[in-house]
Structure 1
Amino acid sequence: MRAGWMSVLFVVAGLSATAVARADDPPKSCSVAAYLLTSESTLSRVASAVKTGGPLDILVVGSRSSTISGAENDAYPARLQATLREKLTGIVVSVSVELTPRKTAEDVVPGLGKLAQTKKPTLVVWQTGTVDAIRSVDVDRFHDAIDQGVTALQNAGADVVLMNMQYSPRTETMISPTSYIDNMRVVAQQHDVPLFDRFAIMNQWNETGEFDLFSPVRGVDQAKRVHDCLGRALSTFIINTAHIDTAKLGTRRQ
């Protein structure tokens, strides 16, 4: 049964099997509740990089849900890069991706510190939790792994944003994500790092009808729209948590 869950979840991960695409679909507004786009924690290194004129290097570490097969330029990391470049006038922004497919947080942790030391990103967005939930990893071990990973990234000199799993109504009855989501929130609070609540954002889109995340009909076009909205939401989250005034930034660089 668990192997079956893995197959379902990794089809869902690409978002190509969870959304309906039609030529007459109206453009999506990407509306997100304001409280999901900010944090009490601050991205101080991001703020400093922007204040001094950049560059701003962002590394996304995560599973294949950060990609769209055959359309990498439309996946949320690429859309994040494009949106930040639009918003941060005069700042060189680079977003790269380190894929860790089918690995638990505990599997990923040993290489995180070295990865950050080698690539020297300003910010690491660590997307995790899905595989742990699928495999029913002990939540205490999951908590400890996230704690160790964040510590390693911070010791390597990077800001950190934790990103939890994506929401899918088709898999809600197959896995129990709540304890993993809660533990990520606890670790984020303990380390004073922001948590980008992708699960809640996508749940909101599904509830409001912004996107249909239940239908099994394939729709790459709609997958691209979901990723575009995620990239835009994440860009706003990063700017808000770094307390960057984009209006003043644009004026300063004219």
Structure 2
Amino acid sequence: MTSRRYCRPFCLTAFVLLIAAPVAVCAENTPQAAVSDSAKTDAVKPAASAAEQSAQAVGAPADNAGSAAPANQAPQDKPAQPASLTDKAIDKVKQAAKSASDIFNRVPCLPPKGVARAFSLPHVAHKLAAGEPVTIIAFGSSSTQGYGTSSPEFTYPNRLAAQLHRRYPAANITVVNRGRGGDDAQQMMARLQSEVIDVKPDLVIWQVGTNAVLRNEDPDAIAQNVQDGVARIQATGADVVLVDLQYSPRVTEHPENASKMVKLIRRVAQLRHIGVFPRFEVMRQWHESQALPIDTFVIADGLHMNDWGYACFAQILGDDIIRSVGQIRLGVAAPINRSM
């Protein structure tokens, strides 16, 4: 896989403004590889999306804004002032918000009905209320890494980061992608300390279980690994949310193992008093209740999500995080998977 440099769409804007600021804005991107989940062994660190970069820039002080020329001043008296950093940041946030909604123009992302998704994130809520930086780690395998997306912008961690930045524009929120294709609980446990705990996250979103089902591994052993890992994360004081399997043809080919794995992940969440995002049921509802064809949200390999699938997953997950933080701020304790 070779990396190639290319200019993102806003490079053209930077080029047009060369007279005021002679710097071309480019980004380096690593294209997604067309290999199977089990064959992917190297982590890919997605480039920061334009939405992330722009939302972080919104925190620039307002007094950085340049003053406009008086209305009665002739254009030849004083050259036009370049847009301030704050103005540029606001424009980028508007572009990011438009990009976030564009993908849902053809097929809307509807919240699932009758699927319990409530969880509590007291640590994240406290950090946001105190104005302190928040670090979120997306931990998992290829569907966290973002296999199947057309660009890094559409990985679920990047989409989630953009959504949280739009909701909390003054907050310092960092979402770190720690997905590695082909991994399951045993492999993730080997890198849990260095890639998760040592980073000192405030929230860990742990996507797990799919590869174990595909490989016909013992679900009970996987569940025990997850339970041990969650306990280690909780010992640091971080919040944890588990994400179960994706609903896709290659997973549903193993109905007994898939069902057992989903139930075991829920059981771990109950035992450790943490949240679980029921991705399997959410995606099943896309197909069965909303009558969306599988190829609306799954790519041709029958396993991984496409841009729309990742975007809708991230949108619903982000809504749940925002709702949880709001409930805690209001003193409302969210139920933890009582009905699951």
Q: Distance in 1 between matches of 2:325 and 2:163?
A: 16
CA offsets, 1:226-247, max 9 Å, x none? 2111111111111223335899
Hey, what does 2:117 align to over in structure 1?
A: 38
1:180-199 superposed matches below 5 A: 180-199=261-280
1:151-230 superposed matches below 5 A: 151-174=231-254, 176-209=257-290, 211-213=292-294, 218=300, 223-230=306-313
Q: Is the 8 A contact 1:79 1:232 kept in 2?
A: yes
Judged with a 3 Å threshold, the aligned counterparts in structure 2 of structure 1 residues 217 and 104 are, in CA distance, closer, same or farther, namely: closer
Partner of 2:265, secondary structure, is: helix
Q: Which runs of 5+ in 2 are unaligned?
A: 1-34, 41-103, 331-340
Q: Distance in 1 between matches of 2:249 and 2:124?
A: 34
CA offsets, 1:64-115, max 9 Å, x none? 1120455111111111011111112421221111123212212212331343
Q: Taking structure 1 as the reference length, what is the TM-score of the superposition?
A: 0.78
- Percent of aligned positions that are identical: 27
> Offset at 1:117?
3.0
Hey, what does 1:54 align to over in structure 2?
A: 132
Judged with a 3 Å threshold, the aligned counterparts in structure 2 of structure 1 residues 174 and 7 are, in CA distance, closer, same or farther, namely: farther
Which of structures 1 and 2 has the larger relative contact order (alpha carbons within 8 angstroms, sep 6+)? 1
Q: Is the 8 A contact 1:28 1:210 kept in 2?
A: no
1:64-213 superposed matches below 5 A: 64-66=142-144, 67=146, 68-174=148-254, 176-209=257-290, 211-213=292-294
Q: Which runs of 5+ in 1 are unaligned?
A: 1-5, 12-24, 248-254
Of residues 159-168 and 54-63 in structure 1, the stretch that sits farther from structure 2 once superposed is 54-63
Q: Distance in 2 between matches of 1:155 and 1:167?
A: 32
| Structure with the higher helix share, 1 or 2 | 1
Q: Taking structure 2 as the reference length, what is the TM-score of the superposition?
A: 0.60
Partner of 1:109, secondary structure, is: helix
Of residues 230-239 and 28-37 in structure 1, the stretch that sits farther from structure 2 once superposed is 28-37
Q: Is the 8 A contact 2:120 2:328 kept in 1?
A: no
Judged with a 3 Å threshold, the aligned counterparts in structure 2 of structure 1 residues 210 and 93 are, in CA distance, closer, same or farther, namely: farther
Q: Is the 8 A contact 1:88 1:246 kept in 2?
A: no
Equivalent residue in structure 2 for 1:231, among 314, 318, 332: 314
Question: Across the two proteins, how many residue pairs are aligned to each other?
Answer: 226
Which amino acid is 1:228 matched to? A
TM-align CA RMSD: 2.9
Which amino acid is 2:245 matched to? M
Judged with a 3 Å threshold, the aligned counterparts in structure 2 of structure 1 residues 81 and 115 are, in CA distance, closer, same or farther, namely: same
